[in-house]
Structure 1
Amino acid sequence: MVSENELGLEKKGMQLGKYELGRTLGEGNFGKVKFARNIETGQCFAVKILEKNKIIHLKISDQIKREIATLKVLKHPNVVRLHEVLASKTKIYMVLEYVTGGELFDKIASKGKLKEDEGRKLFQQLIDGVSYCHTKGVFHRDLKLENVLVDAKGNIKISDFGLSALPQHFRDDGLLHTTCGSPNYVAPEILANRGYDGATSDIWSCGVILYVILTGYLPFDDRNLAVLYQKIFKGDAQIPKWLSQGAHNMIKRILDPNPVSRITMAGIKADEWFKQDYTPANPDDEEEDIYIDDEAFSIREVPSDAEKSPGSPTLINAFQLIGMSSCLDLSGFFEKEDVSERKIRFTSNHSAKDLLEKIEGTVTEMGFRVLKKNGRLKVVQEHKKGQKSLGSLSVAAEVFEISPSLFVVELRKAYGALSLFLSLSLSLSLSLSHTGTHFFS
């Protein structure tokens, strides 16, 4: 372990040992990514700065440890390289390869679909990188355009291994069972919740990425999650007629909803369309001494489900959430589900504790009374004689945990004016809601 001073951190946070820190490249739920330069060599890096208290708060210590352990063994031209890991009492610093071109998502968003030759080249690199990971026993499980970076030469780098699986994560049946990924990219067998093969599910996600690269839009998309998952289960992607027959066949064989008959990595590499102008990448498997500070792993463990206090948020999975409402839409701030039931739900990245505290603070400022019981809040406003008021209102607020970094807030109106309920819900959703597109991560 090293102290902040030993790391060479100035008060303004401009230096980390031999690295000079610069502008912020991005921000996440539990830290920032900053540009860094090695003072001795001038080489550029990206430093992922993780706040330990946020990691504990979001219960993702295992996820961070997994990402570090995974990146340590991966040395491939199409995978972001980890160079070293430093740590203090409050932060973890992951020194990563600096990739200048941003996300593949931004490239497609700005240019639209790519020409088939250019798209195939990126797909070849994606398959090279992912298949290499598989040979190392690493299964990504969250492949999507946002997790594929592009360097200055137009080559791709796979990033964000926080949800990856290693051999020890397989159960006795030889399958993985954790439901994770991003809705539009997730394979149907993951949604089926009966166990899945990590390699086969990664291939599906690669197929979705290929489809977007060549068409400019997603093969399966809908604002309603239940409808989206129905489309994924059917696997009936509408492939544009203007794509070549080779590209058409490749997409069709990858986006096969049956994992048993889906094309394998070997099958993809043997395909004639794939092999056009294909130059396999050469992985760098030489031993490299990556320094990892032991303090990076000294993150206080979070109590297990059995040890959780009665006030802890209820843990639900994607399928239970879909069952809660056939009209749930997580892409906007909030969605009115059933006027007769008067329920509104929205997602948030804030922790359950923060959400309940923020809800209490917000509604108190609005003049409501708050009653607490078993991790739930009851928001009440009574109409009093002689006072101007929109009327009486009673609302129950409850927080459900979908994943360690994503929660659903449910507001249920017991009685009172609908207009007052909607006004309250809008105020809360605008200040607390999650505006991204991830459903579970």
Structure 2
Amino acid sequence: MVLVGRRKRSGEEGMQLQIGKYEIGRTLGEGNFGKVKYAKDVQTGHPFAVKILEKTRIKNLNFSDQIKREIATLKILKHPNVVRLHEVLASKTKIYMILEYVNGGELFETIASKGKLPESDGRKLFQQLIDGVSYCHDKGVYHRDLKLENVLVDAKGGIKISDFGLSALPQHLRDDGLLHTTCGSPNYVAPEILNNRGYDGATSDTWSCGVILYVILTGYLPFDDRNLAVLYQKIFKGDVQMPKWLPSGAKNLIKRILDPNPKTRITMAEIKVDEWFNQDYTPAVFYEEDDDVHIDDEVISLPEAPTDSEKVPESPTHINAFELIGMSSCLDLSGFFEKEDVSERKVRFTSTCSPRKLLERIADTASQMGFGVQKKNGKLKMLQDCKGQRKTCNLSIIAEVFEINTSLYVVELRKTSGECSVYRQLCDKVLKDLEVSRSQENLAAKLLEES
């Protein structure tokens, strides 16, 4: 276990935290579980980035498996185009991942500020991306969340692949030799992942690399729409609009990568012999050192995620991509079959609170409003007898939580019978108590942000 030093003065300007031999400085970024800060080895002065993870948050969000996976993945990856993990330290409350410091920011920021890159510059970055990703595949690692935000740029213009939190290793393959977890970012996700029938991690990563190449050379996404259903339809068709000014060699390669059929999609090996790709191509030269990554024993003591047999009955329902699309207002067709407006019968919102807490707080709110609450199979049924008013309403509402991933949930409040005004009052109070928005656009935006 690492000993966290006292805060010590840095000149006259304030205090610095020291963890082991590392002095911690400014914040570089923030994530779901903590912050990424600048760090310096006090003995050598060498810069690092330290990812500081809160153990309680990891435990509350049931994310220990993902953290362990990221550490296990980075431990075996030693390539010039992949962010390097140097060591992992821990205290009773935090985990400190000491990572290679990349000072050029995200590739996303580069494109956002400069727009599309010149062909030669874009090709060079893409060559490095393919070098890094194909190396990961050779090691049995599939990233599964490749996007501009997860590609960092160093001071020399080189790229470093980062954020392996959703990566998969050989042991995650099922008996059919495929991966089955629906994950990734909507604009970059391969169509076979959305099919929910299993997919090859290498071919899906290849698709994401094609999306990145398109953005590098054009300045915008090949598949984009605020409406998730429309976005996924575009991805399934794989119908990419190629600008006329795009070089023919790049067009041909992008078309072969963004092939919606994974069986005929170009492979990493084939990309490396493509004529456009090979112009001025110098494969990465490196030597894999034998040095091992030091990991504190305290890290291994992270709480294990419960197995399916251990999960409590209130565990949220998992939903696949198509069910998720159906939860968007754009594809909710129920309004065509009933006179009542959809918004009068069903409200959905996103939350990062645990399912148990969400249902408890909804039950409390309903009880305060005079509803009788029944809890069964992870759902809440709320009943209210409106006798005494002008008419009997016998209002019945169902609350259910769906899991998008282990840190994001969709809550649905569904009226099954009764009068609308009291139902709306309950929904408004629940939304106010939980400090969330009712907007369906908020749901889509949140899903895009968190994916």
Could you state the TM-score of these two structures normalised by the residue count of structure 1? 0.87
What is the aligned partner in structure 2 of residue 408 from structure 1?
410
- Once the two structures are superposed, residues 2-28 of structure 1 have per-residue CA deviations (whole angstroms, 9 ceiling, x without a partner) of 4xxx23254988111111111222222
Deviation of 1:215 (Å):
1.5
Any unmatched runs of 5+ in structure 2?
9-14, 333-339
C-alpha distance in 1 between matches for 2:447 and 2:153: 21
What is the aligned partner in structure 2 of residue 398 from structure 1?
400
Deviation of 1:305 (Å):
2.5
- Once the two structures are superposed, residues 205-243 of structure 1 have per-residue CA deviations (whole angstroms, 9 ceiling, x without a partner) of 000111111122211122222222221111111111110
AA at the equivalent of 1:431: V
What is the aligned partner in structure 1 of residue 315 from structure 2?
312
Deviation of 1:67 (Å):
0.8
Distance 1:324 1:286, change over 3 A: same
Please tell me whether the aligned partners of residues 85 and 98 of structure 2 are also in contact (alpha carbons under 8 angstroms): yes
Distance 1:360 1:40, change over 3 A: farther
Deviation of 1:385 (Å):
9.4
Deviation of 1:64 (Å):
1.0
C-alpha distance in 2 between matches for 1:150 and 1:358: 44
Count of aligned pairs between the two proteins: 425
Deviation of 1:156 (Å):
1.0
- Once the two structures are superposed, residues 222-270 of structure 1 have per-residue CA deviations (whole angstroms, 9 ceiling, x without a partner) of 2222222221111111111110101111110100011111111121111
Percent of paired sites with the same residue: 71
Distance 1:338 1:50, change over 3 A: farther
C-alpha distance in 1 between matches for 2:386 and 2:38: 55
- Once the two structures are superposed, residues 55-80 of structure 1 have per-residue CA deviations (whole angstroms, 9 ceiling, x without a partner) of 12212211111111110111111100
Deviation of 1:94 (Å):
0.5
Instruction: Map 1:158-177 onto structure 2 (within 5 A).
Output: 158-177=161-180
The question of 1:147 aligning with 2:144 is answered: no
Q: What RMSD in Å do the two structures reach over aligned CA positions?
A: 3.0
C-alpha distance in 1 between matches for 2:215 and 2:46: 34
C-alpha distance in 2 between matches for 1:200 and 1:378: 44
Deviation of 1:384 (Å):
11
What is the aligned partner in structure 1 of residue 5 from structure 2?
8
The question of 1:242 aligning with 2:245 is answered: yes
Instruction: Map 1:292-371 onto structure 2 (within 5 A).
Output: 292-324=295-327, 327=330, 339=342, 342-357=345-360, 359=362, 363=365, 368-369=369-370, 371=373
Which of 22, 34, 58 is residue 19 of structure 1 equivalent to? 22
Deviation of 1:320 (Å):
2.5
What is the aligned partner in structure 2 of residue 259 from structure 1?
262
C-alpha distance in 2 between matches for 1:358 and 1:184: 34
Deviation of 1:412 (Å):
2.1
Deviation of 1:102 (Å):
1.5
What is the aligned partner in structure 1 of residue 48 from structure 2?
45
C-alpha distance in 2 between matches for 1:343 and 1:396: 10
Deviation of 1:187 (Å):
0.8
- Once the two structures are superposed, residues 345-394 of structure 1 have per-residue CA deviations (whole angstroms, 9 ceiling, x without a partner) of 12223322343455567x589x74563623445678998999xxxx9987
- Once the two structures are superposed, residues 299-327 of structure 1 have per-residue CA deviations (whole angstroms, 9 ceiling, x without a partner) of 12232223222223222222233345562
Which of 107, 131, 142 is residue 128 of structure 1 equivalent to? 131
Please tell me whether the aligned partners of residues 91 and 298 of structure 2 are also in contact (alpha carbons under 8 angstroms): yes
Deviation of 1:104 (Å):
1.2
Please tell me whether the aligned partners of residues 82 and 96 of structure 1 are also in contact (alpha carbons under 8 angstroms): yes
The question of 1:79 aligning with 2:90 is answered: no
C-alpha distance in 1 between matches for 2:429 and 2:133: 46
The question of 1:192 aligning with 2:195 is answered: yes
Distance 1:416 1:85, change over 3 A: same
The question of 1:275 aligning with 2:278 is answered: yes
Distance 1:312 1:13, change over 3 A: farther
- Once the two structures are superposed, residues 278-305 of structure 1 have per-residue CA deviations (whole angstroms, 9 ceiling, x without a partner) of 2221233121232111221111223222
Tell which deviates more after alignment, 74-83 or 395-404: 395-404
Please tell me whether the aligned partners of residues 344 and 420 of structure 2 are also in contact (alpha carbons under 8 angstroms): no
Please tell me whether the aligned partners of residues 366 and 426 of structure 2 are also in contact (alpha carbons under 8 angstroms): no
Tell which deviates more after alignment, 71-80 or 316-325: 316-325
Q: Secondary structure at the match of 1:96?
A: strand
C-alpha distance in 2 between matches for 1:398 and 1:208: 35
The question of 1:201 aligning with 2:204 is answered: yes
What is the aligned partner in structure 2 of residue 373 from structure 1?
375
What is the aligned partner in structure 2 of residue 215 from structure 1?
218
AA at the equivalent of 1:243: L
C-alpha distance in 2 between matches for 1:357 and 1:21: 39
AA at the equivalent of 2:5: G
